[in-house]
Structure 1
Amino acid sequence: MKYYLYIFFSCIVGINALAASSEIMPVINQDKSVTFSLYAPDAKKVSLSGTFLPKGRSIKTPAGTFSKEGSIEMTSNNGTWTYTSQPLTSELYTYTFDIDGKVKPDPKNPDRIRDIADTLSYFIIDGGIADNYVTQKVKHGTIEKVWYPSNIEGMSKRRMTVYLPPSYKTNPHKSYPVLYLLHGSGGDEDSWCDAGRAAQILDNLIAQGKCKPMIVVMPNGNVDLAAAPGHDPNNPDIKPSANNTSSMLGKIESVFVNEVVNYVDIHYRTLANKENRAIAGLSLGGLQTLFTALNNPKYFDYIGLFSAQTTNALDDGKISGMQRIGEKWQNLKNKIPFFGGGGVDKTISKYTSEDLSIYDNVDIKLKYLYKAQPKLFYIAVGRDDFVKKLNDDLRERLDSRKYPYVYNETDGGHTWENWRKYLVDFLPRLF
């Protein structure tokens, strides 16, 4: 009898242990507080970092506020480290564990996103704005990963993500407006669907009748990389970086219409006119959005800048000076051919190329843009964003010429929390 009782209780213990090991974390409590748990019996110190915690040290500058992500030490009980947050408002929150100096996502949470080179765990608190970020029981659009031909130096093709609305494949005779949606520094063609939850936002707003069904094209705006990490056969081991200086020198903007827009209009059922075309971007993507629109005033009726880097600090004088250096270098190469082709030549050519003209004569280009009467020029930025001063300067420029625009100033800074909200606010204004 004792033997059978032993077997019985062993099974119970085993089942409980299995249940504990397979438990999905974190636990969202009834009051919307969140409990985190990590089993790390050999760890000496475990801390938790996340967007739900109060910000760490902040530095205020004339350009904006720079803040470190919040972090808190967890407490251990027999090797299980735990922490319970305060009740949280509706949002998508990301977090990681720091285990004796090694940063890792939550092994018990299958929900993860990549932000530049970081893999983050996430959870969603419902009951508000974040209901837009959840995969709801509605009709879903289709996501396609597309390679298109490119003339950008060093690559014959580049990759983009295309969202097709739920009715695209069920209604084969209908054509759709198009939004071109650009990522920020360190991002790629996966960013808006991954950290930005663009597909879920579109599915939910379309289902609620809050925005029109549309095609959304999310290209890779990093000029040095043809595709997101792991998807470029020519650079399979490349690691993304937030340092994208090369992508601020006009190359993306100079080929955008010919390579991206024309490809989409040929291969998808688009309403291929200015009235049914929009472009928007965050941070670096805001710079590329602004100058793609300024140099193609008859292509986009809707322009959206989300925490935009509105300038690359090159004014007309600097651009002319750099182009003169390029001309002198080219003359020197013509006289002494072996100067060409090396590392110095590539660097000088990159920073003195004719693509820099994308950024010149801003006032003249603004005049022609508004002469074409865009239906929406939208600017959104957080009060603590380090690019807010740049956006204030752009608004002063527009105000001085009485050019109309819509301005959305929010709390917070340069974060996906804001960029998702801006997309939710921007989409219903289109078409």
Structure 2
Amino acid sequence: MLSYIHYLMMTMTYALKQLSLYLLLLGGFGLALSSPLSRAGTVVHITIDSQALQAPYPLTVYIPDQEPTQESPYPVIYLLHGSFGSENDWLANGNLKSTADRLMASGKIPPALIVMPGSQSWWLNGHNESAENAFFEDLIPYIEASYPTARTRAGRFVAGLSAGGYGATRFALKHPELFGAAAALSPATYVPLPPKNSSAHRHPAFLDADERFDEQLWQRSNYPALWDDYIAKNITVPFYINSGDHDEFNIAHHATALFTKLRDLQPDAAELRIVDGAHDWQVWEQTLPEVLIFLLTQHQ
């Protein structure tokens, strides 16, 4: 009889322990569901009409899950892809969504709209399309009319990798009144001309009617040609610049040259990071968190 009672007590004790464990796990799961760390933004793929392109303009847009307010609309980051890339590159190769989700959920950056446009040019009015006009005349007005975003330079940022870094540099220096900060990741800002192994030499943006690389277009579009006007506007755009130390296009050198020029002009508003890596997504994905934090810290 005692043995049977002992058996029942052991069985009940085990059952209570299992029930307690189940309730603990269930409670933890419920907390996880309600935790800020479980928040996730939404990604949409759209096309808009572009008068400048006379063609559809493809976009990928990251929308945070936190609601904006009238007093605090979303800051917006325009994130540009590289040569022969697309509007899906940052999402597919750069881990953009997971990175943005994590940084926003942890409070390291505020909720922000991240716009990733597609371009068949090097973000300029090249021989194949008017990408620069499309960006300023079609894209920015569409985003600001369609989403609850900040409409001042303090809440508007531009960044990009490689050819996109070239584009981000151009846009920020040419229109400092529009952007609160810029980031150029492994920027293809070659001075005076791109090396022969650069895709610029075979990109339709720079190929004239005879299929030759247009050196004059490059030189009048690159940042040295914009420098005097940038100084004359007397508006400081903080810059973050980086490059892999083993970049096969010698971009560490060109990134350092751009940084040096900026640092001499605005010593407290220029950052340079030379990191371990080549001209690849390992560098851009790993440095994306620092880029987003740098840009959105300017907003705060």
TM-score by length of 1: 0.51
Work out whether 1:392 is the aligned partner of 2:290: no
* Structure 2 CA distance for partners of 1:352 and 1:412, relative to 1, 3 Å: closer
> 1:383 is matched with which residue?
245
Give the 5 Å matches for 1:254-333: 254-311=133-190, 313=192
> 2:64 is matched with which residue?
165
* Structure 2 CA distance for partners of 1:357 and 1:150, relative to 1, 3 Å: farther
> 1:138 is matched with which residue?
38
Q: C-alpha separation between the residues in 1 aligned to 2:100 and 2:65? A: 10
Do the aligned residues in 2 keep the contact of 1:254 with 1:358 (CA within 8 Å)? no
> 2:16 is matched with which residue?
none
> 2:49 is matched with which residue?
149
2:236 to 362, 366, 373: 373
Counterpart of 1:417 in 2: which secondary structure? Answer: helix
Q: Which has the higher contact order (CA 8 A, sep 6+)?
A: 2
Q: C-alpha separation between the residues in 2 aligned to 1:180 and 1:345? A: 29
Give the 5 Å matches for 1:4-83: none
Q: C-alpha separation between the residues in 1 aligned to 2:160 and 2:277? A: 18
Q: Deviations over 1:132-185 (max 9, x none)?
A: xxxx961111111121122345x42210101100114xx575621100001111
Counterpart of 1:361 in 2: which secondary structure? Answer: helix
Q: C-alpha separation between the residues in 2 aligned to 1:345 and 1:400? A: 36
Q: C-alpha separation between the residues in 1 aligned to 2:126 and 2:190? A: 9
* Structure 2 CA distance for partners of 1:271 and 1:402, relative to 1, 3 Å: closer
Greater helix share, structure number: 2
Do the aligned residues in 1 keep the contact of 2:79 with 2:114 (CA within 8 Å)? yes
Aligned residue pairs: how many? 243
* Structure 2 CA distance for partners of 1:212 and 1:345, relative to 1, 3 Å: closer
Work out whether 1:407 is the aligned partner of 2:272: yes
> 2:225 is matched with which residue?
361
> 2:13 is matched with which residue?
none
Q: Mind listing any 5+ residue stretches in structure 2 that lack a counterpart?
A: 1-35, 195-206
194-203 vs 359-368, which moves further: 359-368
How far the C-alpha of 1:353 sits from its partner, in A, is 9.8
* Structure 2 CA distance for partners of 1:347 and 1:293, relative to 1, 3 Å: farther
Q: C-alpha separation between the residues in 1 aligned to 2:254 and 2:115? A: 26
* Structure 2 CA distance for partners of 1:392 and 1:356, relative to 1, 3 Å: closer
Greater strand share, structure number: 1
How far the C-alpha of 1:366 sits from its partner, in A, is 3.5
Q: C-alpha separation between the residues in 2 aligned to 1:380 and 1:345? A: 31
Q: C-alpha separation between the residues in 2 aligned to 1:182 and 1:312? A: 21
TM-score by length of 2: 0.71
Do the aligned residues in 2 keep the contact of 1:149 with 1:157 (CA within 8 Å)? yes
How far the C-alpha of 1:263 sits from its partner, in A, is 1.1
Q: Mind listing any 5+ residue stretches in structure 1 that lack a counterpart?
A: 1-135, 224-243, 316-343
> 2:92 is matched with which residue?
194
Work out whether 1:175 is the aligned partner of 2:40: no
Q: Deviations over 1:300-340 (max 9, x none)?
A: 0110010111147469xxxxxxxxxxxxxxxxxxxxxxxxx
Q: C-alpha separation between the residues in 1 aligned to 2:286 and 2:149? A: 26
> 2:3 is matched with which residue?
none
Q: Deviations over 1:330-388 (max 9, x none)?
A: xxxxxxxxxxxxxx98558995998985446332133146x2122x2111111112311
